[in-house]
Chain A
Amino acid sequence: MATLNNYLLVSGLLFAIGLAGVVLRRNIIVVFMCLELMLSAANLTLVAFSRFHPSHGLPDYNGQILVFFVITVAAAEVAVGLAIIVALFRTRQTIHTDDLTSMKG
């Protein structure tokens, strides 16, 4: 049987992969996908804690409802973010973050 620390380790590794992607990829769509990976890693932690800390002998459903809210807000975020990327591509003809330096000091 997998223990709580196994789940926390796996979710931490997924978060680290997402963080690495955000730092080292330059394609803004891939950066956005890596953000989704980090959100999902947080979701895995929430579900693991809800299963391993029961209330009334059942999994603690407050954690899973938080996951439901996170998934819904992430879906809304993806819709708005991709619309911003499309608008960005229309005006600049690029989605490479190195080319987007007009706000650089």
Chain B
Amino acid sequence: MSDVPDNLLYTEDHEYVKPTDDANVVAIGITDYAQGELGDIVYIELPKVGATFGAHDVFGTVEAVKAVSELYSPIAGEVVAVNDRLDKEPALVNSAPYGDGWMIKLRLKDAGETKQLMNAEAYEAHLGSASH
């Protein structure tokens, strides 16, 4: 079964939002379920620091051997950090999606928007309905 940590928030598109030490900054990546569905990831295209996104905007692309998937920003904000390690080690998203496989950090435009995201329980229910 896919790993769904309790302390994160989730989208229907299988991105997660993880708190950081700065209350206004979150780390974003794709969930364990998403990396499992994609399979071996070979290339990740990510935005540059300073780029801004609205909720549901495409912020990047993940290429696996057999599939390609766009990445959707779970929430509005400005990119304050990009995980450069993924450039050379994209498979970190497969091996540690919630850890070293994080993709970008966003400074939130409106911290209140996180209320629209799913908690772990809701996301697990969403997965249950997605995989029958």
Does A associate with B in a complex? Answer: no
- The interface of chain B, by Cβ under 8 A from chain A, is none
